[in-house]
């Protein structure tokens, strides 16, 4: 077992809090104009996902209340807590070490995040995080944490003095982007359980991670991916 000082469990990159102008008309035919417009759109979108984006640029591409619809309220950012954490019962996670071993923030400096509560209830929450980095680094970083977490059906985490049992199940992910990962996690502590779905999609140099109640993740993932990549 290894001990780590990390952001509190579930305040992570992949989980929401659980227990704790004018144009000139040309002579081009309508069909050719439409084709040219489509090609330009694809080129612009390709450029948008091939360049690294700053944290400020990523922040502008996060979902907001107008994207989510009526009934959502953005939650204020919580101050980071740093607790001693012990992970046991999962060799793959123990081998990883660092924050990612227990779902901590991914080690990419270009990032932005937002979380929302839905008036439907205390478990009706959804969070989004965006990361930008090289394609290889994003693929390796995100893939590694999902692979490690789903390699163990159950493991234990001690956060400070609070023992938490985590069960995981790999889920099929919708066919979005270049790569995608999805899992369902159940956190149990003190007789209380919280279920969180986590889905991440990489397109080029941007990763979109959406987490929360399963229904809300499924409802908003495609919109999050489109907005993150500058789609109109």
pLDDT at 93: 80
The CA-based angle 225-55-117, given to 5 degrees, is 55
pLDDT at 56: 96
The CATH class for the domain spanning 2-18+28-228 reads alpha beta
pLDDT at 123: 63
pLDDT at 231: 64
Q: How many CB atoms lie within 10 A of CB 103?
A: 27
Question: pLDDT tens, position by position, for the chain (232 residues)?
Answer: 444 333 323 334 334 334 443 233 333 333 443 444 444 444 444 444 568 999 999 999 999 999 998 889 998 876 655 556 778 888 888 777 534 444 455 668 899 999 998 886 656 789 999 999 999 999 998 998 888 888 989 988 887 788 889 899 999 999 999 999 999 999 898 889 989 999 999 999 999 999 998 999 999 999 999 999 886 5
pLDDT at 14: 35
What are the C-alpha distances in Å from 58 to residues 61, 107, 113, 189, 229?
5, 16, 9, 34, 9
**pTM exceeds 0.75:** yes
DSSP string covering 163-198: EEEEEEEE----S-SSEEEEEEEEEEETTEEEEEEE
pLDDT at 8: 29
């Amino acid at each position: 077992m290894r001990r780590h000082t990390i952001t509190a469990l579930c305040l992570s990159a992949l989980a929401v809090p659980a227990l704790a102008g004018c144009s000139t008309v040309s002579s081009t035919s309508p069909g050719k104009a439409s084709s040219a417009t489509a090609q330009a759109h694809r080129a612009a979108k390709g450029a948008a996902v091939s360049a690294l984006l700053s944290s400020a640029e990523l922040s502008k591409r996060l979902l907001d209340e107008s994207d989510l619809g009526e009934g959502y309220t953005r939650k204020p950012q919580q101050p980071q807590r740093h607790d001693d954490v012990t992970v046991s019962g999962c060799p793959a996670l123990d081998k990883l070490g660092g924050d990612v071993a227990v779902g901590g923030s991914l080690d990419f400096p270009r990032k932005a995040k937002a979380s929302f509560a839905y008036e439907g209830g205390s478990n009706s929450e959804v969070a989004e995080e965006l990361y930008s980095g090289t394609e290889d680094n994003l693929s390796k970083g995100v893939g590694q944490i999902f692979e490690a977490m789903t390699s163990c059906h159950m493991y234990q985490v001690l956060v400070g003095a609070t023992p938490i049992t985590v069960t995981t199940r790999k889920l099929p992910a919708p066919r979005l982007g270049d790569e995608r990962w999805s899992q369902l996690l159940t956190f149990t502590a003190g007789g209380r359980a919280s279920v969180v779905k986590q889905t991440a999609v990489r397109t080029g140099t941007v990763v979109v991670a959406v987490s929360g109640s399963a229904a809300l993740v499924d409802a908003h993932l495609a919109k999050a991916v489109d907005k993150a990549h500058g789609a109109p």
